[in-house]
Amino acid sequence: MARIAWSPVTLYRKFSLGDAIFLIILIAFIYAISSLNLYYTRPEQTLSFDLSPTKLPLYSLFSLLRMIFAYCLSLIFSIVYGYAAAYNKRLEKILVPLLDILQSIPVLSFLPPVFMAVLTLFPNSRIGLEITSIILIFTGQVWNMVFSFYHSLISIPKELREAADITGLNKWQRFWHLELPFSAIGLLWNSMMSFAGGWFFLMACEMFTLMNQNFLLPGLGSYLSMASLKGDIGYILWGLASLVALIILLDQLVWRPLSSWVKKFKVEFTEGEEGTESTVLLWYRRSRILSFLGRKVFAPLNERLDRFFRIRSARKIGEPEGFTWVRIFNLVISTIFILLIFYGLWGLISLFMKLPLSSWGKIFVSALATLARVASAVLVGLLWTLPVGVKIGTNPRLARILQPIVQIVASVPATALFPIVLLFLINLAGGLNLASVLLMLLGTQWYLLFNIIAGATSIPKDLLEAASILRLKKWDLWRNLIFPGIFPYLVTGGITAMGGAFNASIVSEYIIYGGKVIKTVGLGSLITESSTSGNNALLAASTVTMALMVVLINRLFWKRLFKLSEERYT
């Protein structure tokens, strides 16, 4: 059974490259935080911030800090939410449909309530703007991670669960030694996709308009937004070059070492391939600083958590069942939750009553137009990501070459490329519609590709070797091994891709370039326009319509595939 543990490193240099990398990263973050503090102490900020390329390294650090905070929030949320949905059948009936709704709500639809709530907590403070930006990035990162972790938990083989029961693992040991390792591969690839999704929506999260007021935070996203607003291709290319450089650094220092490390959690009965380990991972393993943190911080913390859950389990066994304080707490929380739901429903109904009948007709036509674009984008994405993802996932040498390339291409905000796309497509028949589908495809195909790669990577090597010995034909190989092996991941990718496509409609159907508004009929266009103008009634109605469409598609189509993957392909 796989497990996660901090193993002491006996052979390391006095000061390794791993130590140097760690210290450089730490110094960069301290510098970024102190520099950001200077921005907060300056007089009132305006939109005319410095577009000089020399500012890009600092802007990159600001954006990276927001992305890391949002990712940490996403990871914690994914584990808690996925765990609750997987192991509490009563909660599962609420949480899984709620997840369908939440992942279908575009980033900008979260903006008004989040902004108002944060502004109430932090009045007349730019910290409120910073928190708003981080929460918006979180809403663009988290949903595919939740789906991945939840689906991994319900897909754990029965034999592994029985082994955990026989060995008497408590809840923490079961999580640390079985559940987290089993979900590690899918969670890692979806983490890469989440970061890519965060970069994609960074422009909308660092510079936005609400109730005809402009808000801006210094960063790469706002730099690209300002460059696009001015129509300056030179500044756009400088911003994209900085983003690509940052993505390459993250791939080499974070994602590639993690991809190499996470292979040890693959469920198989043959020895793993040699010579595929990341060089940077070897540097980290020789690091005195990381070794010290592992021995003095993380290992004792793990032991304390283990001891806490062991004592808690013993107490729980000895306690008679009754109306405990835990049940009282759950009852209070449930009551508050139900009251908040009714309060929200009443507010929505009040907003809907303000809309004239003509607006509802406009919403219906827009919904059909967006649905057609989403279906086209997901279908086209599936046609190329399925063979390419399987090829990358089953070929470690190819994965080492293409992983950073995929990371870069997936992370480049398509909205920054849209002006260039429009130059080529705007004069064609249906040019704006075609450009909108293309932009939607650029933002959603990666959910499919990353999940398919994760699924192909998790196929046991011994089964691939058996198929090779039997000399199965390509069709038989796909039908009997590859497709069943990747099917659970493909379903997760399909759900998140469709939700991502609906989310991407807000930036693909409404574009501001060179001071001009370019838009087409669609729900994304309605949501962006109503958010900008402060039309909360139209914003709420458009968002609810989009959420209802996604929930219906998920309930009628994706839920059946989820059940099939759980019953036949675990």
The answer to whether residues 493 and 422 belong to one domain is yes
For residue 179, give its domain range.
71-265+355-568
Q: What is the DSSP string of 265-297?
A: G---SSPPPSS---HHHHHHHT-HHHHHHIIII
Residue 476 lies in a domain: yes
Indicate if 173 and 291 belong to the same structural domain: no
Residue 221 has what pLDDT?
Answer: 83
Whether the predicted model's global pTM rises above the 0.85 cut: no
Same-domain status, 291 and 153: no
Q: Is residue 11 part of a domain?
A: no
CA 283/CA 178 separation, integer angstroms: 27
21 inside domain: no
Tokens representing residue 463 in the block: 């089964």
Residues 282, 392 within the same domain: no
369 and 347 in a common domain = no
231 and 370 inside one domain: yes
Please check whether residue 20 lies inside any domain of the structure: no
Q: Has residue 529 been placed in a domain?
A: yes
| Residue ending a domain, choose from 354, 376, 402 | 354
First to last CA, the chain: 17
**What's the token pair of residue 219?**
């960063």
Same-domain check for residues 349 and 476: no
What would the two tokens of residue 189 be?
């690839």
Same domain, 327 and 296: no
pLDDT at 72: 92
In a domain, 271, yes or no: no
Name beta bridge partners: 511.
Answer: 518
Residue 420, CB-side half-sphere exposure with 13 Å CA sphere: 11
- Note whether 489 and 452 are within 8 A (CB): yes
Give a yes or no: residue 510 inside a domain: yes
CA distance 248 to 417: 19
Structure tokens at 388: 């390419």
- 347 and 477 together in one domain: no
CATH number at residue 516: 1.10.3720.10
Q: Tokens 């801006």, residue?
A: 216
What pLDDT score was predicted for residue 48? 53
Helix H or strand E segment including 210: strand 207-210
102 plus 150 within the same structural domain: yes
10-residue mean pLDDT profile of the chain (570 residues): values are 46 66 81 71 55 86 90 91 85 78 69 72 75 84 86 84 83 85 86 80 73 76 80 80 85 85 72 60 82 81 76 58 58 73 73 78 87 89 89 81 73 62 60 75 82 83 80 81 84 82 77 68 82 76 83 82 73
Do 153 and 183 form a contact (C-beta atoms < 8 A)? yes
In a domain, 9, yes or no: no
What's the total number of domains in the chain? 3
Count of residues in the chain? 570
* Residues whose CB falls within 8 Å of the CB of residue 20, separated by 6 or more in sequence, listed in order: none
Name the 3-class secondary structure at 143: helix
What is the per-residue pLDDT for 6?
A: 45
Give the separation between CA 183 and CA 113, rounded to whole angstroms.
33
Chain center to CA of 515: 31
Domain-ending residue, one of 305, 338, 354:
354
Task: Please indicate, yes or no, whether residues 459 and 399 belong to a single structural domain of this protein.
Answer: yes
